[in-house]
Structure 1
Amino acid sequence: MVPAAPYAWADLRGWNLYFLSKVVLAWMGALNLKVLPNLLFLVALLVPLRWRWARIARSVLALPIGVALYYQDTWWPPFQRLLAQPGVLDFSASYWLELMSRFVNWPMVGALTLLVVAYLLLKPWLRMTTLSVIGMLGLALIALPLPAGLQWGDRTDVASADPTPGRSTAPRGPANTDSLNAYLANFYQQQDTLKTSFPGPSAGAPFDVIILNVCSLAWSDLDEVGMRQNDLLDHMDVVFDSFNSATAYSGPAAIRLLRASCGQTSHTRLFDPVPAECQLFSNLQRLGFQNELAMNHDGHFDDFIGELSSYGGLQAKPMDTSALPRALVAFDNTPLHRDGDVLMSWLKRRQAEPAAQVALFYNTISLHDGNRIVGADGRAAAADYKARANMVLGDMASFVDAVEKSGRRAMIVVVPEHGAALHGDRMQIPGMREIPSPSITHVPVGVKLVGMGAPAGGGPRHVTEPSSYLALSELVSRVYALNAQVPAQDRDWSALLQRLPVTPMVSENEGAKVLDYDGKPYLQLQGNQSWMPYPEDAR
């Protein structure tokens, strides 16, 4: 008999399930496997140790390292970013439970269950450690870059991709850290030079500017619930098909909208002072509009009201809604009013006001994740997104009709803050918006000119080029200038949408940047200097 080697490689035992599960999930595309750390971890577990205490110590140390490494291999953001969501500690207990349940991916649970069963059946017959090592080495070989000249035949250089309308057609270098950093720096440098030039006060017929700022409404959300066609957007005069909200959180989105009159800034510069000429409502106030604010919530979550005033330049006291009934309970257990009640209450008050022109900023969070509808018995019950979307869009469509019937002249602009992330993806569970992915920031924006004399069309006119807030500010300025032209029949309404500012897709949250580079989204997380392609496919 040949004696056993005194220092034979260790058996992975239970760690086989750890590595085999990574092989399976990486093959399914569910993991963004970091090959080198995993190979080092594998070797550390295989190295033979003579002393029993050393083997015990290795097992104890391996547990937290293994958990951290597994999380790092997921597509999810760094754990500290999950806890950095604004107001996360104010979420209600029921909303926390709902969020936790979304981390369970049942197809993955099924795959891992089959893996465990197969492991138990094959363990008596096969050396599972050998399979684990072969699987990890196989993934390592796949991850190795191919030598020059041996690239896959269907690989396309990003520099040769078809140009997107509104973007430069000049060839760009391949997407890498240097080229993407240079692109982002050039983008902000260009945006610093852009500004809307408002005309001086005119004697045109008075009209109101009504901004309806909607939380949690993106094109992807409407598609998810089959509501891309709806009474509100279908009856707009103008719809922006490629509007980028540039962020995935409410406060920054509202600040960007209120600062629409200048080019897009980075997230950190949102909290720096800006000239009044960059503030949309300051420009409107200079033209004689009385600024007003209304919301269907109290505005205290994450100091939303404070940010409107301090960073957006909106110096207006919120309309009192205390007499209105409670229609929903928010994710933080605060009461919400129905949008129709708030808007109709504002319109009734507006009819009695002496002000010739009013600029209203209305914000609603009815569609926010985790909200519950109050029933006839006064109890709050969960309501799916589609039910709430039907309510919100229906209320706003009814409000537009009411403004038309009132005889008031108005420019009504529907601008969502960001999407609800109904679908989720490999990096973020449904409802998570820590990363401003394209599906979250691509929002439906519509404009309705009520009583302004614009010719009726067979449906909304569409702005297809990449747009953002500067285009809205420019459109408000053009409508004001056109409204002053006399006689009215000489007004060229078709010129309103010509050569509106084009803004490439660049989005930022506090801990993440996402940009479109030749038709492909790329992501950079805080603390990481490199960029990676954003995995847009479904979770």
Structure 2
Amino acid sequence: MPDASLPSAVPLARWPGLGAWNLYFLGKFLLLAVGLLDFHALPNLLFAACLMVPLPGTWLRVGRQLLALPSGVALLYYDTWLPPFQRLLAQPGVLDFSWEYVLELLNRFIDWNLVGGLLLLLVAYLYLRHWLRLTSLSLAGLLWLAVVGLPSLTIGAPQSGVAEAAGGAVAPVKADSATLDAWLEQFFASEGQRVTRFPAARADEPPFDVLVLNICSLAWADLDAVGLRDNPLLARMDVIFERFDTATSYSGPAVRRVLRASCGQPSHAALYQPAPEQCLLFQNLAQLGFERQTLLNHNGHFDDLLDDITSQRMPLPALLSGSFPRALVGFDGSPIASDLDVLRGWWRQRQQSPASHVSLFYNSISLHDGNRVVTADGGTRSADYRGRAGRLLDDLAQFLDDLQRSGRRVVVLIVPEHGAALHGDRMQLSGMREIPTSAITHVPVGVKFVGMDLPSGGEARRVDTPSSYLALSELLARLYEQQGLGQAPDLDTLLENLPAAEPVAETAGAQVLDFRGTSYMRLQGQREWQPLPKENN
């Protein structure tokens, strides 16, 4: 009688090793060791298990490898500090990048030291795979990371902070996600109650103008990186805000925030809801008799920035940037005019106007990442940040000279949108600003009183209190009241107890806050907060 026993189970019992996938996991261990991964042990263990489960038939095994390739790429991306991939797809402006800028970004992505390390790892793998069972090494590493982890590199564990008890003692406070959520909710509730109270308009108010110069991509960290922290322009300021926080790292939200400066800090989502009229800085100035004007050194089309401006009750630009020669070409190929050309063109027009009070919002993108200098033959070449920053600072200094020679009374506020992120970190490439860390949101804000009888030659008054836009609105309200009394600006009164600000920053894809001396972040789609790596604090 034929043997009716079941077929041998030997093919199913043979558990294959990871094979070439060992190189994938060993490479991840290398990236983790140098701090470039936010490693998730459990998904990696599951991925390894799926690769090792024995399958009958060649076609099933081939199919598994075909599925494993995109899955491995997705898992590697998930393990990086990069924002969720859907955030990139949600940015339609990315498709408008010039090919020169795309190549520049790709070049930044390549770390040649890391490439060298990975090549050495490949050579070691090809040599040792004949002598060692590397699958055992990979699995041991995955299990160790899952159970023990790397304390020196693990940044997702809850930290402890401190809080002052009623009696003055310091009590520990566990900064878990529930605590941070409650704190953030209370922060926005408190900010919603803060508003600048402007004085009533006076018919006999001495005439003066307010100029808000909103500069893209200029942070303290950027000035430090190129050796321009101590520059002649800032040396001429009457007031410098040392710890001003922009609360965002993108231009659109930054524009909306400065134009809504007369109220406390709203959430990112609230920026895209209609603003209460008392929050609109230039609307408040209009009620005091200031004629609102807008000016750009670009067309405002990228990411609908012009719509961000006009949606806050601001007029269309008084002059078209296309009326001036190109000084730069933007990362999207659009023309950018010289700051000095545009500001001087506007100032000539302003001097011919009969308006006694004018408030100007000027936006410049001369320092935006990826801009290129226009050459004499009409072509373009790459432009380093230091050269462009030096040119911008010189342009603004010359414009201040023009204002002073005119004899008119003007208060100039230089308010950067955010930084350029010149130095990348383990979470973001150079120039990437999805996560609004303090290196990007901590910017130099300066105030200059031109023709207002302020004693010249003295040191700038430095405001060391953490500040944001509400402090600028309050300063302008106090200045208007002082001018109505026929006084020169009294800096002691102007700067006394200006509204302070908690360092909370947001984009559509990330939130960052400081809680009891530790910086935390949460990416879009995540429920849990995690401390930022120390280099980003």
Q: TM-score, normalised by structure 1?
A: 0.91
8 Å contact from structure 1 (residues 438, 521) kept in 2 = no
Which of 160, 164, 168 pairs up with 1:157?
160
Match of 2:256 in 1: 255
Amino acid at match of 2:278: E
* Alignment length (residue pairs): 518
Amino acid at match of 2:517: G
8 Å contact from structure 1 (residues 325, 337) kept in 2 = yes
Match of 2:147 in 1: 141
Match of 2:484 in 1: 484
Q: Distance in 2 between matches of 1:263 and 1:156?
A: 29
Amino acid at match of 1:123: R
Distance 1:447 1:171, change over 3 A: farther
Match of 2:194 in 1: 194
Q: Distance in 1 between matches of 2:344 and 2:107?
A: 38
Q: Distance in 2 between matches of 1:402 and 1:26?
A: 54
In the TM superposition, residue 73 of structure 1 has moved relative to its aligned partner by 0.6
8 Å contact from structure 1 (residues 248, 435) kept in 2 = yes
Match of 1:420 in 2: 420
The answer to whether the aligner puts 1:374 opposite 2:386 as a matched pair is no
Q: Distance in 1 between matches of 2:134 and 2:342?
A: 65
Amino acid at match of 1:446: G
In the TM superposition, residue 520 of structure 1 has moved relative to its aligned partner by 2.1
Q: Distance in 1 between matches of 2:151 and 2:398?
A: 58
8 Å contact from structure 2 (residues 413, 445) kept in 1 = yes
Structure 2 unaligned spans of 5+ = 1-9, 153-157
Match of 1:508 in 2: 506
8 Å contact from structure 1 (residues 211, 414) kept in 2 = yes
Structure 1 unaligned spans of 5+ = 147-154, 162-167
Which of 76, 86, 109 pairs up with 1:80?
86
Match of 1:95 in 2: 101
Q: Deviations over 1:287-340 (max 9, x none)?
A: 111111111111122222222111x22135432344321111111111111001
Amino acid at match of 1:532: Q
Match of 2:6 in 1: none
Amino acid at match of 2:67: L
Following superposition of structure 1 onto structure 2, how do residues 302-313 of structure 1 map, counting pairs within 5 Å?
302-310=303-311, 312-313=312-313
Following superposition of structure 1 onto structure 2, how do residues 18-29 of structure 1 map, counting pairs within 5 Å?
18-29=24-35
Match of 1:334 in 2: 334
Distance 1:389 1:86, change over 3 A: farther
Q: Distance in 2 between matches of 1:351 and 1:318?
A: 14
Q: Distance in 2 between matches of 1:317 and 1:77?
A: 34
Amino acid at match of 2:161: V
Q: Deviations over 1:143-172 (max 9, x none)?
A: 2899xxxxxxxx9832269xxxxxx99867
In the TM superposition, residue 537 of structure 1 has moved relative to its aligned partner by 2.6
8 Å contact from structure 1 (residues 75, 426) kept in 2 = yes
In the TM superposition, residue 457 of structure 1 has moved relative to its aligned partner by 5.5
8 Å contact from structure 2 (residues 299, 322) kept in 1 = no
Q: Distance in 1 between matches of 2:534 and 2:233?
A: 28
SS of structure 2 residue aligned to 1:143: coil
Amino acid at match of 2:64: R
Q: Distance in 2 between matches of 1:160 and 1:307?
A: 39
Following superposition of structure 1 onto structure 2, how do residues 43-58 of structure 1 map, counting pairs within 5 Å?
43-58=49-64
Q: TM-score, normalised by structure 2?
A: 0.92
Match of 1:288 in 2: 289
Q: Deviations over 1:18-63 (max 9, x none)?
A: 1111112112211111011111112222233343333223222222
Q: Distance in 2 between matches of 1:97 and 1:423?
A: 18
Q: Which moved more, 1:116-125 or 1:213-222?
A: 116-125
Match of 2:5 in 1: none
8 Å contact from structure 2 (residues 322, 335) kept in 1 = no
Q: Deviations over 1:222-276 (max 9, x none)?
A: 1111111111112111111111111111111111101100111111111211222
8 Å contact from structure 2 (residues 211, 359) kept in 1 = yes
Cα RMSD (Å) of the superposition? 2.2
In the TM superposition, residue 91 of structure 1 has moved relative to its aligned partner by 1.4
Match of 1:165 in 2: none
Q: Deviations over 1:490-520 (max 9, x none)?
A: x643121111101101111112111111222
Amino acid at match of 2:272: F
Q: Which moved more, 1:245-254 or 1:313-322?
A: 313-322
Match of 1:442 in 2: 442
8 Å contact from structure 2 (residues 160, 172) kept in 1 = no
Match of 2:404 in 1: 404
The answer to whether the aligner puts 1:111 opposite 2:114 as a matched pair is no
SS of structure 2 residue aligned to 1:537: helix
SS of structure 2 residue aligned to 1:304: helix
